[in-house]
Amino acid sequence: MAAPPRGAGRLLGERGWYLSAREQQEEEADEDGESAPLLPPPPSGSVRNRPNRGSSFGFSVFNLMNAIMGSGILGLSYAMANTGIMGFSILLLIVASLASYSVFLLLSMCTQTAVTSYEDLGLFAFGSTGKVLVATTIIIQNIGAMSSYLLIVKSELPGAVAGFLSGDESGYSNRSWYLDGRLLLLITSVCIVFPLALLPKIGFLGYTSSLSFFFMVYFALVIMIKKWSIPCPLPLSSAIESLQVSNSTGDCKAKLFHLSKESAYAIPTMAFSFLCHTSVLPIYCELRSPSKSRMQNVTVTGIGLSFLIYFMSALFGYLTFYDKVDSELLQGYSRYLPHDIVIMTVKVAVLFAVLLTVPLIHFPVRKAVLMVFFSHLPVSWICHILVTLTLNTIVVLFAMYVPDIKNVFGVVGSTTSTCLLFVYPGLFYLKLSREDFLSPQKLGACALVIFGICVGLLSLVLIIFSWIDQ
């Protein structure tokens, strides 16, 4: 066999070669796996790479939570309504635990390969096919994420405008152009999202989009407080509805376990909500004194705190509306508290977060598209603009014509989210790890793959059948 090329730790060709220095480092990592660094040490004497530089533990946890928290928080109350409090709690705990475990597998693979991106793990495991597959999955996942954000604009911006105008949203929605959700979505996309996405560098949005995390925490606190502002049974708009509800005794009773055809959306929504795996390695690269155990502690802390915020917002949202909860939680507050000042501030905060986060999510999608489809072409502004325009057009069309945000959570969550969260980390670990197949970690990776495939396919099939039955 030919000797590997020079350059220890560098990935070359489709599968890559490593010098004996890399193999020696792997052996040392096996001996001290929890404290061994994931990446090669910086050059000696480098001032910029001294151990005291980099992100602190707390700031890394914040960055990870900012990557986790997103539009999924608006759909978790609906998931609880269709699984029950206990059923939801068990499923959410399972998904959060498996998300943490799959991150552990990714970090373990980084110890062996020294790569710093999800796509490169696919390259090292399965060659160029693996890299293209991961990149394509990320493209679909992020398009779904952007669509879910713009769906929030379509559904919430008309109510916010009506609230500020002190008018009745229902009375103007059919007459006034400025309360047409699709038109407002198109205007904001053309005037705000598209220009920001066109910028060659968008670093300042990385800081402002961090505000979205605080907006989500604020959202959760408001949901908890406003539980006592909406009476139960809910206020009704017609005598017919009142007669129907008077014959029902379960409207204000929480269910511990519940199963219906809508339950199929639960796990995909949770998978969509906890997906942060494409951000784990970049966050690791900025971590001070990086090691597998330190980054795993960051992950457990970030996912644990996100679990707490998700659970509390879902619980109080469900206990406010019970079985009448909307698939997009804010719609219920728009209906029953249309002019509440606090709810209006939440809407504005969420909309602000959306408009700054969508262009940020767009950047890795465009990079992946250029890598997969246009890597043979030279870099040019024409290609940059056309790809940006095409992606934004696709996202806007999805947001305009998808009737319900739960459909985005369901389809994207059951396909790309389960792949990135469960299937790919398990597959890559099975391929790259030198452990015996019956070792605990490989058995765990195998179980992760099986769980992801089974849950994803089952959820997708049930979602499709629910569409057919409608």
Residue whose pair of structure tokens reads 């908890």 in the numeric block: 224
CATH of domain 53-237+252-469: 1.20.1740.10
Is 347 within 8 Å of 156 (Cβ atoms)?
yes
Taking the C-alpha atoms of residue 215 and residue 351, their distance in angstroms, rounded to an integer, is: 10
Q: At residue 12, what are phi and psi to the nearest 5 degrees?
A: -125, 145
Q: Which candidate, 467, 435, 457, 420, places its Cα nearest to that of 103? A: 420
- The interaxial angle of helices 424-432 and 440-469, nearest 10 deg, is 150
Helix (H) or strand (E) holding 298: helix 292-321
3-state secondary structure of 412: helix
DSSP string covering 360-409: HHHHHHHHHHHHHHSTTSPP-HHHHHHHHHHHHHHHHHHHHH---HHHHH
pLDDT of residue 101: 94
Is 286 within 8 Å of 298 (Cβ atoms)?
no
Taking the C-alpha atoms of residue 272 and residue 416, their distance in angstroms, rounded to an integer, is: 9
Taking the C-alpha atoms of residue 83 and residue 266, their distance in angstroms, rounded to an integer, is: 7
| Tokens matching residue 78 | 């609906």
pLDDT of residue 305: 93
pLDDT of residue 406: 86
Q: Where are the alpha helices (DSSP H) in 165-251?
A: 169-172, 181-188, 194-198, 203-208, 211-226, 239-246
Taking the C-alpha atoms of residue 223 and residue 316, their distance in angstroms, rounded to an integer, is: 6
Beta partners for residue 287, in sequence order: 55
Half-sphere exposure of 140 (CA within 13 A, CB side): 17
| Residue type, position 435, single letter | E
Taking the C-alpha atoms of residue 414 and residue 272, their distance in angstroms, rounded to an integer, is: 8
- From the centroid of its chain, how far is CA 324? 25
Helix (H) or strand (E) holding 63: helix 57-68
Taking the C-alpha atoms of residue 380 and residue 253, their distance in angstroms, rounded to an integer, is: 60
pLDDT of residue 204: 63
In this prediction the pTM is: 0.80
| Residue type, position 10, single letter | R
| Cβ neighbours around 147 below 10 Å, total | 23
| Tokens matching residue 7 | 């350059």
Helix, strand, coil content of the chain in percent (nearest 5): 70, 0, 25
pLDDT of residue 22: 41
Question: pLDDT tens-digit profile of 126-178?
Answer: 998 999 999 999 999 999 989 999 998 898 888 788 777 765 444 444 457 77
Neighbour-count burial of 211, counting CB atoms closer than 10 A to its CB (0-12 exposed, 13-18 middle, 19+ buried): middle
Half-sphere exposure of 321 (CA within 13 A, CB side): 28
| Tokens matching residue 377 | 């072409």
Residue whose pair of structure tokens reads 């767009």 in the numeric block: 362
Residue numbers in the chain where pLDDT is lower than 70: 1-54, 166-175, 202-209, 233-251, 470
Taking the C-alpha atoms of residue 435 and residue 443, their distance in angstroms, rounded to an integer, is: 10
